[in-house]
Amino acid sequence: MIQLEHKDFEELVLVALVTLPDQFRSALKNVDVVVEDYPPLDVLKYAGSPVGFGMLGLYQGVPLRERGPHYGGSLPDKISVFRVPLESSVDSVEELMPLVQRVILHELGHYYGLSDDEMRESRGDLH
């Protein structure tokens, strides 16, 4: 387990975002990426996830493939990256960066409308 200052973790997430492949980065429109310490308890309960460190990220919004012709004027979608569970999953910053990138890519998969099963089939399990 490692522990970074909150601002250092946010910087790491920013680096992970700017180093995404162009096709992912250029398609991100109206999406906020935020760092939170832990997933909210109500989200864990709704997802049937145990309280603790199992959830590393979360996408909230309307996936692209579900947006109809009248979609607009909505608040930005949101990708949350959960700092403490991620830090608890690694022993070094060198291990943390690729994990943060994988979590962001996984949540981007939900933004594009892919299910967990579809992502597992195409890229392997990114949880």
- pLDDT tens-digit map of 5-48: 999 999 999 999 898 888 888 777 789 999 999 998 888 888 77
Is 76's pLDDT higher than 60? yes
Residue 100 belongs to some domain of the structure: yes
Q: What percent of the chain shows pLDDT beyond 90?
A: 50
Q: pTM for the full model?
A: 0.86
The answer as to whether 1 is a domain residue is: no
Q: How far apart are CA 43 and CA 50, in angstroms?
A: 10
How far is the C-alpha of 12 from the C-alpha of 9, rounded, in Å?
Answer: 5
Residue 33 lies in a domain: yes
| Range 100-126 average pLDDT | 80
| For residues 68-93, average pLDDT | 92
Q: Are 78 and 35 in contact (CB under 8 A)?
A: no
pLDDT above 70 for 101: yes
pLDDT at residue 53, rounded to an integer = 65
| Residue-range definition of the domain harbouring residue 93 | 6-65+74-123
Q: How far is CA 119 from CA 55, 75, 103, in A?
A: 16, 26, 12
- Please give the Cα distance from 87 to 74 (Å, whole number): 32
Counted domains in the chain: 1
